[in-house]
Chains A and B, each alone.
Chain A
Amino acid sequence: MIEFACPECQKKYKVDDKLAGKKAKCKVCEAIMHIPELDDDDDVIEDVPVEEVAAAPPRRRRKAGSAAERGKTIRGSSDYFDFEISQRPDFALVTVNLDEGQQIYAETSAMASMTPNIKLKSGFKGGLGKTIGRALGGESLIINTFSAEEGPGEVTFAAGSAGDTAHHRLRDSELYLQRGAFMLHSDGVEVTGKWGGAKGFFSGKGLVLLKASGDGDIFFNSYGAIMAIDVTDEYIVDTGYIVAFEDTLDYNVSVLPGLRGGSKLKQLFFGGEGLVCRFSGQGRVWIQTRHVQTFLSWVNGFRPTKNN
Chain B
Amino acid sequence: MDHEIRNRPSFANIKLNLSAGESIVAEADAMASMSGTVTMSTRWSGGVMKGIAKRLFGGESMFVNEFTTESEGELILTQPFPGDIECIELKGNTMFLQPGAFIACDPGITLGLGWAGFRMLIGGEGLFRLKVSGEGRVWFGAYGGIFQKEIEDEYVVDTGHLVAYEPSIGVKVGMAGGLFSSFFSGEGLVTRVSGPGRIYMQSRSFDGLAAWTNSHLW
Contact = CB atoms under 8 A, between A and B. Distances in A.
A112 B209 contact: no
B42 interface: no
Interface string B195-218: 000000101110111111101111
Contacts of A232: none
A111 interface: yes
Contacts of A111: 158, 176, 185, 187
A90 interface: yes
B115 interface: no
A142 B145 contact: no
Contact of A292 (B10, B210, B211, B216): B216
Interface in A251-308: 292-293, 296, 299-300
A161 B215 CA distance: 11
A84 B75 CA distance: 37
Most buried by A among B86, B156, B207: B156
A144 B186 contact: yes
A204 B218 contact: yes
A142 B204 CA distance: 21
B81 to A, nearest CB: 10
A119 interface: yes
- Sorting the interface of chain A by its residue count into under 10, 10 to 19, 20 to 34 or 35 or more gives 35 or more
B178 A158 contact: no
Interface in A153-173: 158-162
B54 interface: no
B147 A68 contact: yes
B146 interface: yes
Given A122-B181, A158-B144, A113 B8 contact: no
A41 B153 CA distance: 42
Interface in A17-76: 63, 66-68, 70-71
A113 B156 contact: yes
Contacts of B126: none
B147 A142 contact: no
A110 B218 CA distance: 21
B83 to A, nearest CB: 7
Nearest to B183: A122
A112 B186 contact: no
Contact of B8 (A70, A115, A160): A70
Contact of A144 (B82, B154, B185): B185
Nearest to A143: B185
Contacts of B178: 121
A210 interface: no
A90 B203 CA distance: 10
A242 interface: no
Contacts of B201: 112-113
Contacts of A92: 203
A296 B187 contact: no
Interface string A71-101: 1000000000000001100111100000000
Interface in B61-101: 82-84, 86
- Sorting the interface of chain B by its residue count into under 10, 10 to 19, 20 to 34 or 35 or more gives 35 or more
Contact of B156 (A71, A118, A144): A118
Contacts of B156: 113-116, 118
A213 to B, nearest CB: 24
Given A91-B9, A91-B144, A115-B155, A158 B205 contact: yes
A228 B35 CA distance: 44
A142 B184 CA distance: 7
Interface in A138-190: 138, 140, 142, 144, 158-162, 180
A108 B147 CA distance: 22
A58 to B, nearest CB: 13
B181 A121 contact: yes
B161 interface: yes
A109 interface: yes
Nearest to B180: A122
B9 A66 contact: no
A108 B177 contact: no
B52 interface: no
Contacts of A229: none
A71 B86 CA distance: 16
26 contacts: A87-B9, A87-B203, A91-B10, A91-B144, A108-B185, A112-B205, A113-B149, A113-B155, A113-B161, A119-B177, A120-B176, A121-B181, A122-B181, A123-B181, A123-B184, A138-B215, A142-B186, A144-B185, A159-B204, A159-B208, A160-B211, A160-B215, A292-B216, A293-B216, A296-B213, A296-B217
Given A87-B203, A144-B185, 13 more contacts: A67-B9, A67-B146, A90-B10, A92-B203, A112-B157, A112-B205, A113-B201, A122-B177, A158-B161, A159-B204, A160-B211, A204-B218, A296-B213
Interface of B: 8-10, 82-84, 86, 144-149, 153-158, 161, 176-178, 180-182, 184-187, 192, 201, 203-205, 207-213, 215-218
